[in-house]
Amino acid sequence: MNILLTGGAGFIGSHLCDFLIAKGNKVICLDNLITGKRENITHLENNPNFRFIRHDVTTHIDIDEALDYVLHLASPASPVDYIKYPIQTLKVGSLGTHNALGVAKAKNAKFLLASTSEVYGDPLVHPQREDYYGNVNAVGPRGVYDESKRFAEAITMAYHKVHKLDTKIARIFNTYGPRMRQSDGRAIPNFISQALANEPLTVYGSGTQTRSFCYIEDMIGGLYKLMLSDVNDPINLGNPAEVTILYLAEQIISLTGSKSEIKFEPLPEDDPKVRCPDITKAKNILKWQPDVPLKEGLKLTLQDKKRG
């Protein structure tokens, strides 16, 4: 298959490039490298089945060959990034998604949107099911990301209904693994960097807020199954094994043998208190569920971090 992948130099995008090429597909990777890293894809650049185009998807996308799929992963994805780039985040979710859908329509290609668990906001329903509409503060610090993805879902579904485009929507929950940027700003890369430097691990609030972490290989497998499926409604992809942030910090200190202590800071505005996917649909429809336990995934992530 010939696949256009936006955001392909990012953390999840670059792993998806690897996976798709290993399956014998051709991948055209688009990325403006605002938050993506060229180093994530340099090992692919001599591969005849891979082509990198540095391009901002919020401007017109012109691809001169046939496409079977358009996979739209382009977007800042961590609070550090979308607070730094609020307008770019809103534009990539709106204009970028519109442009990516336009290419899919023009090429009669199937389309997959990488959405996010952030569409649920600070949820009042737990765990979060796909039929939950969310609790989002549109004008809060996280609103630029949350609302850009909610709009992206809406326009994706509109293209499906109006233009009969075959679209998929993946609501991706916290994902981790090799290639996460040290400056990513999310819990796992933050804690690993601090632990390896024997610096205090920064835990916000009391640390009792929960998250569920999915290892990158599991997430890529879920995205691939969704991509090949007949599912058009949004579907959660993530690991339902829920842990507190404090537990995560303690595990990373233990695994690294660090002398770090834990430092508590005030909880940021609109930081979700709980976050855990209900993956019943993914299990029943896609026959997918994650396999890598958190401790094993952290060990693999640490090995990569130490090599880097």
Residues with a known catalytic role: 145
* Cα gap 305→46, rounded to integer Å: 25
Cβ(118)–Cβ(149) below 8 Å: yes
Pairing of strands 262-265, 50-54: unpaired
Query: Two tokens at 199?
Result: 């610096």
* CA–CA gap between residue 307 and residue 129 (Å, rounded): 38
- Provide φ and ψ at 83, rounded to 5°: -75, -35
Task: From residue 143, give the alpha-carbon distance in Å to each of 77, 126, 132, 282.
Answer: 12, 21, 18, 27
Question: What is the rounded distance in angstroms from the CA atom of residue 199 to the CA atom of residue 197?
Answer: 5
